[in-house]
Structure 1
Amino acid sequence: MKQNFIKTLPVAIAALLVGGSVQAQDQAGAKSSQLTTWSIGVNAGVLTPLSPLGGKNDFSNSKSSLGYGLYIKNQITPYFSLRLDGVRGKLKGDNSENWKSGAPNTSAVNSFETNLEYSGSLNAVVNLFNISMFNANSAVQLYASAGAGLAGYKVKTSGTVDGPLVDYAGDKTISELIIPVGLGAKFKLTERMNLDLGWTVNFVDGDNLDGVYRGNNDKYNYGYAGLEFALGKGSKQLAWHNPVALTYEEALAAKQTANALKADNDKLRADMNDLLKDSDGDGVADKLDKCPGTPAGIVVDGAGCPLKVPVPVIQEKVIITEADRKVVEEAIKNLEFDLGKATIREKSYPTLNRVAALLVEKNFSLKLGGHTDNTGSMALNMRLSKERAESVKAYLVSQGANPSRIEAVGYGPNQPIATNKTAAGRQLNRRVEFTLY
């Protein structure tokens, strides 16, 4: 059993180290980087070679001796940790007192002194009573521990109470498996230091701790007080952290945030209702309505005022007779300009006068379209066609026609009615068209 434990102890220590690297990535969510998980502790106390948990004592007087210890701890969760403990000291006892209970020791050994060369154990520590729904960090903590380890010791015995001590097994160090079980209380002094009070009963897998063999495995107590120091850069210790309370606080904070958002939404809704309020129902909000109280059914403008509907204009139907068209056709046939200019020749005046009289009499509208052949540049032809149409308009206006009813447009050579390859064709293309409507 001892050999198996010795083989598995390095694996347990490796688990202690690996556990710290794993939980650092996962512990306490996003706040894990703010919480320390490693700590060391030093302690001193009293070692006694007996146990109040029962069993036979080999000596009537079990003396108390100084013990001291050191441990390193890795906090896996707020409630569970792995701790590697080491303890040293001495255990003493004799038969100087009368036996009060149990069967007396009948062996020839009447006193002993055991030097605890080393005592190393890996312990699982469970925090008790560390959950408060209203405190994210406690200040007092109870814990229980249990584990397994190895103790090495040298025993000296004597046949008398005050006689000289001699080696029980020569100069050999006896190694035995131990099972430590303990309770403790921890008090937070600062964010990085704790007061640690504890008591551990160590059950030895052997009956040679005091040099007396009675077929009953030995045990010894270690009651101690010490200080624990947090390691790492975190501002708080994970062992004091309470995720249940933190969740409660986050729920309260979320509820407060939700209530604040609801209040903001209610206020925004009230402001929107006030902004969009339309008392007279005309589709314009009161804040923008310059004419409040508009009767129902009245069409309003963007300011909420009654819309002024313009009086519809009744246009007379324009009727153009054949006689009217002949007057225009005669004017077109007789229309002549000076060569390359927009000057109207006098022979064209009589027929143009009749067109002007027609426009005045019947209130017709007239569109004048000037055209040229393709002789010359495009710019010149465009200008000339426009000027000739404007020249005809100016003459008609001078004869009393309404200028707003006459439109003059120049098309240049873009709308030919005959070929531009012959003189006769080019003559037909040089024209001003009259369109009545």
Structure 2
Amino acid sequence: MNYSTLKKGLAASFVALIGVTTLANAQDASTTSSAKVFGGRGQYRSWSIGVNGGVLSPFVAIGGTNDFKNADVNLGYGISLRKQLGHAFGLEGNIFRGKISGTNKDAVGGVQNGVKEFETEVGYAADIRGVVNVATVDFLRRQNSVNFFVSAGYGLIAFAPKVTNANGSVVDWKDKATGPANDKHDAKTYVKEAYIPVGVGVKFKVSERVSFNLGYTMHFLDNDNLDGVYANGASNKDKFSYGSAGLEFSLGSKSKPNLDWVNPLALMYDELKDPSLRQEVDALKNRVANVEKSVEDLKKDSDGDGVADQFDKCPGTPAGTAVDGSGCPLPKVEAQVTAPTAGNLTGFETIQFEFNSSVLKTDSYPTLDKLSSVLRENGGKVTVKGYASSEGTTAYNLKLSKDRANSVKTYLVNSGVNASQVATKGLGEANPIASNDTEEGRIQNRRVESARN
């Protein structure tokens, strides 16, 4: 095989595929994917099968010691099966065959280590590799069209070297390889050795189903017998390379995108730069601004009585006037009264509570003790009314006001008052005695009052 002709052919194929890829991407530019960034692997096609062909050489790109001076270029071919486990990583199985050969024509007399040339038939080489997508030319596209990858793994090669000695005699190991016990009568067709494949490559998206791959893989054997020559010490292990080109076909439902080409970061970027999404965000900002303005209008309290203007049936109430839930002044009979005196049970000083609490404060005990004394000595009944400030939901504040009223009743009953003498009511946010727009006002509204029945 002419090496120069092979290089020209590969270069022409590369240029042609670049053109095909560009055209395919232009045709697919309008294609949108229903896949979500965090939607899981099940929303993609993740299996693919490939075929490849290329050149095998006993030399590798990183150099090193070789048993022969000159490398021949021979045909190799294979198939692959890959499962993509994520956007950047997959597992791939590979099987390939071919021929590896080399000569010593540049050595003195055309001979080195007592041999002129070798030719090794690769019956098969099979391995499994981890494949990592490391970069993409189209980084900011929703779906990439060019991917670079690296791979490494572990495999087994079956081969039969044929060596031509300096005197022209030929030693062919095919069908003469010995078994594990080196018993010459237990001949095997091929010698078998483990190897480590390490490769790099680039793939071009031809269509939603097909990609064109270029790859270069170095194979490092666990022994020095690939070329049939043992030389340069036991530490010298044989190696060979495989440069290939091939097609890869994505398997699965055509309604799903190929996981190998989806870039999650680009997908998020694409969503963020979407004009329609930007318009929706701007519209949402306007709606939020309108809601905030409406909330401020709902909270507006021109006379400062704690009742918003839209609910205030008595606007212009003088400052400090106790009002009901409609913003109208409370009748004088409902006004707050001071601590009760014996024989005249009209009410008691307001019992205050901490924020979001129904626990009695110790400074309320003297007032409650006086009320208890009057009820025990003079009889009668009292209604205990609990209130809350405006923080929280209406339903929650109603429950909290009931708990506060029950705390007072519990104290009175524990001090000797008959439970039937004390009724409780929870009125929630109703009847504030100060504005809920200030903390000072809200403190006053967290209270319990009582009135004689």
TM-score, normalised with respect to structure 2: 0.50
3-state SS of 1:134 partner: coil
2:137/2:147 contact within 8 Å kept: no
Out of 87, 92, 95, the position equivalent to 1:78 is: 87
| Structure 1 runs not aligned, ≥5 long | 1-25, 278-284, 286-295, 298-437
The reply to whether residue 148 of structure 1 matches residue 157 of structure 2 is no
1:41/1:227 contact within 8 Å kept: yes
List per-residue Cα deviations over 1:141-161 (Å, max 9, x = no partner): 111111110000111111149
1:313-352 to structure 2, matched below 5 A, reads none
User: Which letter maps to 2:152?
Assistant: A
CA separation in 2, counterparts of 1:164 and 1:127? 48
2:164 aligns to what? Answer: 158
User: Which letter maps to 1:184?
Assistant: G
2:138/2:146 contact within 8 Å kept: no
> Are residues 159 and 133 of structure 1, via their aligned partners in 2, closer, same or farther at CA, if it must alter by over 3 Å?
closer
1:166-181 to structure 2, matched below 5 A, reads 166-168=171-173, 170-171=175-176, 172-181=189-198
List per-residue Cα deviations over 1:414-435 (Å, max 9, x = no partner): xxxxxxxxxxxxxxxxxxxxxx
> Are residues 273 and 204 of structure 1, via their aligned partners in 2, closer, same or farther at CA, if it must alter by over 3 Å?
closer
CA separation in 2, counterparts of 1:192 and 1:222? 25
Out of 275, 282, 285, the position equivalent to 1:262 is: 285
CA separation in 1, counterparts of 2:37 and 2:169? 59
1:50 aligns to what? Answer: 59
Deviation at 1:265, TM superposition (A): 4.2
3-state SS of 2:155 partner: strand
Deviation at 1:112, TM superposition (A): 1.4
Deviation at 1:239, TM superposition (A): 1.4
> Are residues 28 and 116 of structure 1, via their aligned partners in 2, closer, same or farther at CA, if it must alter by over 3 Å?
farther
List per-residue Cα deviations over 1:231-266 (Å, max 9, x = no partner): 111532111111122233445567653332222344
Deviation at 1:119, TM superposition (A): 0.4
> Are residues 110 and 168 of structure 1, via their aligned partners in 2, closer, same or farther at CA, if it must alter by over 3 Å?
farther
User: Which letter maps to 1:183?
Assistant: V
CA separation in 1, counterparts of 2:291 and 2:36? 41
2:151/2:200 contact within 8 Å kept: yes
Deviation at 1:267, TM superposition (A): 5.5
1:219 aligns to what? Answer: 239
CA separation in 1, counterparts of 2:71 and 2:148? 28
1:88 aligns to what? Answer: 97
The reply to whether residue 112 of structure 1 matches residue 104 of structure 2 is no
User: Which letter maps to 2:193?
Assistant: E
2:264 aligns to what? Answer: 243
| Structure 2 runs not aligned, ≥5 long | 1-34, 177-188, 301-308, 310-315, 318-453
1:281 aligns to what? Answer: none
List per-residue Cα deviations over 1:300-335 (Å, max 9, x = no partner): xxxxxxxxxxxxxxxxxxxxxxxxxxxxxxxxxxxx
Out of 201, 212, 225, the position equivalent to 2:218 is: 201
CA separation in 2, counterparts of 1:267 and 1:52? 67
> Are residues 52 and 265 of structure 1, via their aligned partners in 2, closer, same or farther at CA, if it must alter by over 3 Å?
closer
1:68/1:88 contact within 8 Å kept: yes
The count of corresponding residues between Structure 1 and Structure 2 is 261
CA separation in 2, counterparts of 1:246 and 1:136? 5
1:132/1:242 contact within 8 Å kept: no
CA separation in 2, counterparts of 1:178 and 1:134? 38
Deviation at 1:191, TM superposition (A): 1.1
CA separation in 1, counterparts of 2:99 and 2:107? 23
User: Which letter maps to 1:200?
Assistant: T
3-state SS of 1:52 partner: coil
1:112/1:158 contact within 8 Å kept: yes
The reply to whether residue 124 of structure 1 matches residue 133 of structure 2 is no
Out of 185, 203, 207, the position equivalent to 1:190 is: 207
2:41/2:85 contact within 8 Å kept: no
- Aligned Cα root-mean-square deviation (Å): 4.0
List per-residue Cα deviations over 1:110-162 (Å, max 9, x = no partner): 2111110010111111111139763221111111111110000111111149x
CA separation in 1, counterparts of 2:36 and 2:227? 45
Deviation at 1:272, TM superposition (A): 10
User: Which letter maps to 1:58?
Assistant: D
Larger radius of gyration: 1
> Are residues 78 and 272 of structure 1, via their aligned partners in 2, closer, same or farther at CA, if it must alter by over 3 Å?
closer
> Are residues 133 and 209 of structure 1, via their aligned partners in 2, closer, same or farther at CA, if it must alter by over 3 Å?
closer
